[in-house]
Structure 1
Amino acid sequence: MTLNTVDALVQLSFRIQRLLGDVGAGHDMSIVQMRLLGILRDRTVGMLELGQYLGLDKSSMTGLVTRAEKRGLVARAPSPHDGRAVLVSLTPLGQRLTEAGTAEVGRRIDALIAGLTAEERAAITDLAARIVHS
C-alpha cells in the first residue's frame, strides 16, 4: 500500500509512540515519564521549562515530577538564580534507568529500520532532523 506524506508520517509516529510505550511499560513508566527522563538525561531544567517541553500545565508538571521523585528518579533543588524557581535533575537511579531505556529504544529503532540501506538511514535521519528543527 502506498501512503501519502501525511499518512506516512502519522503512521510512523504511531509506530514510534507504540515502541516508546512498550519500552516504558517494561520499566513501569508512561510515555510522558519517558519523555521527562529523556529531557533530563543531559541537563538540569526548571519546572516551567519542563512544562513547556512536555506541553503540560503547572499542576500536571508538579504531579509528574512528584511521582518521579517518589520513585527516586529525579530530585528537585532551588534555583540559585531565582528563589521562586525549582530545578529538576536525574538522580543516579534515574540516570541508570534513562541510559537503559535509551539503549533499548535505540535497539528497537535499529530493528525497525534494519531493512534500509545506509544511504536511506542517512536520508531519513537528515529529513527527520530538518522537520524537527523547522
Structure 2
Amino acid sequence: MEESRPAGPAVEVQDELIDALVQASFMTMAVLSKVAAEHDLSLTQLRVFAILRDRRLRMAGLAEYLGLEKSTMTGLVDRAEKRGLLERAPSPADRRAVDVFLSAAGIDLTERLYAEILRALSPMTSALSPTEQRRLQTLIERMLGGSAA
C-alpha cells in the first residue's frame, strides 16, 4: 500500500529545492571526480587533502571526519605517504598519538587541486551576484550545521 503524501505549494517548493540540491550535488561531484581522476586520486583522497589543507590531525580524528575505520585510514595514508603527499609525526600534544599533515608536495598539489576546482565550479557561482553568493554560502553552511569538511 502506498503512503499518501501531503500535497500543496509547500511540498512542491520542498520537492523543487531537493531536486535543485541533487542537481547541484551531481554537478559538483562530477567536477570533483574529474579533478581527482586527473591527478590519480580517489574522491576520499581528495577529501583528505581538503581536510588537511588548513590543519594537522591525529589519524583517529581524520578517520572520524571521513567516517572510515582506522585500518582503512592507515592504508589510505600509507599510499599518500608513499607518493610524498602526506607525512606522519608524533603529536606534540600526545607523543603516543600520530598526526597526519600535508607534505610540501601535498601542499602544492592541494593548492593546484583547489585552483582547478575553483575554475571548474566558477561558471555555476558566477551566475550569482556577490551578495547572492554570500547569502547562498550562509544558507548552505546553516543547512550543513557548520560541518562542511
TM-score, scaled relative to structure 2: 0.82
Identity of aligned residues (%): 47
- CA shift, 1:88, in A, is 0.3
Q: 120-129 vs 36-45, which deviates more?
A: 120-129
SS of 1:75's partner is strand
Residue 99 of structure 1 aligns with which residue? 111
Whether 1:39 and 2:39 are equivalent positions in the alignment is: no
- Contiguous gaps of at least 5 residues in structure 1: none
Amino acid at match of 1:28: D
- Contiguous gaps of at least 5 residues in structure 2: 1-12
Q: For 2:23 and 2:129, how far apart are their aligned partners in 1?
A: 21
Q: For 1:95 and 1:129, how far apart are their aligned partners in 2?
A: 25
- CA shift, 1:94, in A, is 0.2
Amino acid at match of 2:105: L
Amino acid at match of 2:87: A
TM-score, scaled relative to structure 1: 0.90
How many equivalent pairs are there? 133
SS of 2:41's partner is coil
* 1:5 maps to which of 17, 26, 41: 17
Which structure has the bigger radius of gyration?
Answer: 2
Q: CA RMSD in A?
A: 1.7
